Amino acid sequence: MKDKKVEASAVPSARLSRLARLGGMASGIAGNILAEGVRQLAQGKRPSVSDLLLTPKNAQRIADQLAQMRGAAMKLGQMLSMDAGDLLPPELTAILGRLRSEAHHMPREQLMKVLNKAWGKGWEAQFAEFDFTPVAAASIGQVHAARTHDGEKLAIKVQYPGVRQSIDSDVANVVSLLRMAGLVPRSLDIDPLVEEAKRQLHEEADYVKEGKHLAHYGELLAGSDDFVLPRVVEEFTRKNILAMSFIDGTPIEDQLSAPQARRDRLGTLLFSLLVREMFEFRRVQTDPNFANYRYDPVSDRLVLLDFGATRVYRKDRIEAYHRLLSAGMHEDRAALESAARDIGYFQADSLPRHKDVVIDIFMIACEPLRHAGTYDFGQTDMARRINSLGMELGFDRDYWHTPPVDAIFLHRKIGGVYLLAARLQARVDVRACFLTASSAGGKKPAL
């Protein structure tokens, strides 16, 4: 969750009020289009619908309304901005991208209603301190600091009211709005992504389940000198409240000014954990939000937070990914195409030119695996080259289709780790991380 504190506003929890918000947003956008169209016609211009739609005023309205609604409406905006990638207009991607860092928090009165319902009236007596000003706010919930009577500091994640009940309707309404506005190509089949988004959001809204994922990761990484995770406090945990031990730390992005050796170590830890998740655990925390990683300068460990988006992968799918990465490491395009087909990147009628571009993208993404020694993420234009090829596919209407859902979530995590390593300007021996995790996962290293 983001540490940025923004204004408080009540979360609309009833389905009708949330639908009204979206309807109001659509009406406001329509009014802006009409006014802008009249203005441009008066100037002798012949504006296109897309030009009228994607104005700064409309962009502001979309982002502001979704940020105030929070819940699935905001989360879907975040997911689309990262997962649909270059298939969406860049203007829409920019609008939705704002939602990864902007969320209002609940006013105290609404927060009290949520806590009273979950813990019962008089719950304050169970704490020596409770800070009603959240330390973080995001799309599904906000986090508060508290202290028990025995002195333990806790982080209390409180879910916004109505989030679980409004997931399906929020997702359906937002997608319909984007379709009607022409912001999502009609030929692009996003139904599998939409259905998986609903399922994933229901998973993330179950804080008891998230607590189990957190506990499982705690067991997997127990005794580590490199990672530290919160401990679930079951006494205060409910389906819409997750109570955890509070771990101090600083935003990992603040380490940009740290010595190069520390940044290299943090980048190496990120990649080592990623490949262990894939090939040893087969369990991946797929949310790449930078706020899910912090640095504890006292213990010199990487702090891991937020396990709501954890996904368990089938053995055959992970084996196919191992073959794909191994092929990319050895520049074996035929083997890479075979692995990609097994994962589901190509359809039966996929055109050769589309396959070539997809394989080119994978080859670029595997560049750190082919590099001998440490790869300098601060000096690479890899993201620009991948984006350029992605745009090439995105503008080709014969290609538009969505990748496998499992792949989308995994790409989201891998892309986030790449971006964070680039932000830290870290140098990482990615090949060594991959080979080490392959051995630990029982796979024969491909040297």
pLDDT, tens digit (0-9, with 9 covering 90-100), for 51-95: 445 455 555 556 565 555 544 555 555 555 544 444 445 555 555
**Token pair of 301, please?**
């460990």
Residue whose token pair is 């992605």? 390
Question: What is the pLDDT at residue 321?
Answer: 94
For residues 167 and 225, which has the higher predicted lDDT (pLDDT)? 225
**Token pair of 367, please?**
């560049």
Among the listed residues 83, 170, 264, 287, the single catalytic one is: 287
Residue whose token pair is 């009833």? 14
Angle at 18 between CA 13 and CA 24, to 5 degrees: 145
Question: What is the pLDDT at residue 162?
Answer: 81
Asked if 188 and 182 touch (Cβ cutoff 8 Å), the reply is no
Sequence letter at residue 31: G
Q: What is the pLDDT of residues 407-432, one digit of tens each?
A: 888 888 998 899 899 999 999 999 99
Angle at which helices 71-83 and 90-97 cross, to 10°: 130
Residue 193 has pLDDT above 50, yes or no: yes
Residue 194 has pLDDT above 70, yes or no: yes
Q: How many CB atoms lie within 10 A of CB 36?
A: 17
Residue 139 has pLDDT above 60, yes or no: yes
Measured CA to CA, the distance from residue 247 to residue 249 in angstroms comes to 6
83 is catalytic: no
Instruction: Please give the full DSSP string across 370-428, using - where no structure is assigned.
Output: HSSS-EEGGG--HHHHHHHHHHHHHT-TTT--PPPHHHHHHHHHHHHHHHHHHHHT-EE
Measured CA to CA, the distance from residue 382 to residue 430 in angstroms comes to 14
Residue 326 has pLDDT above 90, yes or no: yes
Residue 334 has pLDDT above 90, yes or no: yes
Contacting residues for 114 by C-beta, under 8 A, at least 6 apart: 106, 158, 159, 160, 161, 240
Q: Is the pTM of this model over 0.85?
A: no
Q: What is the pLDDT of residues 4-48, one digit of tens each?
A: 444 565 544 444 454 445 545 444 554 444 444 445 445 555 444
Question: What is the pLDDT at residue 220?
Answer: 95
What does the domain layout of the chain look like in residue ranges?
A: 15-105+162-204, 251-447
